[in-house]
Each structure stands twice: as C-alpha cells, then as structure tokens.
Amino acid sequence: MGWNLKALQERVISAAILIPVVLLAVAWGGGPFYLMIGAFVLISIYEWVSMVRRVEHFVPYMALGLVYLALGFGACVFIREQFPLRVGVLFLVMVWSADIAAYFVGKTFGKAKLAPQISPNKTWVGLGGACDFAGGAAMLYYLAQVFYFASESDFSWLGLIMMYLLGALIALAGQAGDLMVSFVKRRAGLKDTGALIPGHGGLLDRIDSMLLAAPVFLVLVLFFPFDV
C-alpha cells in the first residue's frame, strides 16, 4: 500500500499533541479529567447526530449511538475512579498500541482486506498486528508489576499468557468499535465523522475503538482472572 506522507505527518503531529494532553488529564483526575470527558461527550454527540441524520433510519441509529457513547464514556469514568491510575494507563496504552499497529502493520504488510465494504483500509494482517502489539503492551505491564512492584516469586507463565490474551481481546474490541463507526459512516456517505483533528478526521474517528473497548475491558478485569 502507498503512504500519504502529508496525511501521516498530520497524524503524527496530532497524536503527539493529543496523547500527552489525555494522559495529563487522566493522571490529574478530578476537574481536568471530567472537563475533558465532558468536552469529549458533547463533541461525540454532535458528530454522531451530524452523521446519522444522513442515514435513512435515524431513530435506531441514534439509539445505537446513545447506548454506545453512554457505555463507552461511563466505562472510562469507572476505570479512572475505581482502579489504580496504572490500570487506566494500561487500558489507554493497549488501545493506542492496537490502533497504531493496525495502521502501520496493515499499511506495510497487509493485502487481504478485513471488511472491504465497511473499511477498505483495514486488513487481516493489521488486525493481527493490533492484537500482538496490545498483547505485548499488557505483557510488559505484567512483567513490570512482578519485577518492580512485587517479587519474582509472583511471576507465572499463566499470568503472562493471560495478560497477552487481555491485550488481544481489547484490540479485537477496539477494532470492532472502529468498524461499527465505519459502517455508520458508509451508510451516511461520509469518509470521516468530522474534521476536528488533522490527519484523523473527527473526534469519533480517533476514539471509536476506545469507546467499545472500555466496557469490554471493564467486564474482563471485574469478572475474569486478569492480574491488573
């Protein structure tokens, strides 16, 4: 696949600005975090309404969007407030690792299309890269927990494998969220949900994977034996 260097440059610059801002707001918590979440909610609702008003069946798509946004943002708030900060950072790093890997691995090595009628640029190789990179990030987190915050005797291969599985599942959920929004965009005849972020499109184009991955992550860490 060919590389659009101008678009790539815009994506890198936007990410270099947005990622530190999000991490700072999450780390600070309180007012800055809720201010960011509130702004994200308002922008996301605006972008979703602007998108689905172009779709034939407005009401069911609008209902889908409200559920999707409520669950996604609600889960993000719950993760930040009910878990140690490191768990929220782990979630962000897994989602971002999956998104970055899906883009670069897919662009570099991908040929077989994942869902050509929904998102022509997504490939099976990109999906595999997303799972591997998110799983690798979770494994590094586990090793850091064991060797820096606990003791070496707490290490287990099963725990390491479970963390890889956690990352892979979050990558799959994130890619599913991306495809869901892409499906609605195609029905609306749009390429992007907006033009807010250079190189990325709208805010939903940037956080669509995170919003579906968040409730999945929450269910997994609450009800399954993942050592976070």
Q: How many CA atoms lie less than 13 Å away from 56 in the CB half-sphere?
A: 2
Reading the block at residue 54, the tokens are 């172009």
Start-end of H helices in the chain: 5-28, 30-52, 58-82, 85-109, 124-149, 157-188, 203-223
Q: What is the pLDDT of residue 151?
A: 58
Q: Are 49 and 62 contacting, i.e. CB atoms less than 8 angstroms apart? A: yes
pLDDT value of position 154: 80
C-alpha 73: how far from its chain's center? 12
- Per-residue pLDDT in tens (0 to 9) along the chain, 228 residues: 455 666 667 677 877 888 899 999 999 999 999 999 999 999 999 999 999 999 988 999 999 999 999 999 999 999 999 999 999 999 999 999 999 999 889 888 878 899 888 988 899 999 999 999 999 999 999 998 888 776 555 888 999 999 999 999 999 999 999 999 999 999 999 888 888 877 678 899 899 999 999 999 999 999 987 878
How many angstroms separate the CA atoms of 114 and 110, rounded? 10
Task: Please report the pLDDT score of residue 152 as a whole number.
Answer: 54
Cα 107 to Cα 151, 165, 217, distances in angstroms: 40, 24, 27
> Largest Cα–Cα distance of the chain, in whole Å?
59
Q: How many CA atoms lie within 13 A of 44 on its CB side?
A: 22
Q: Domain segments of the chain: what residues?
A: 5-223
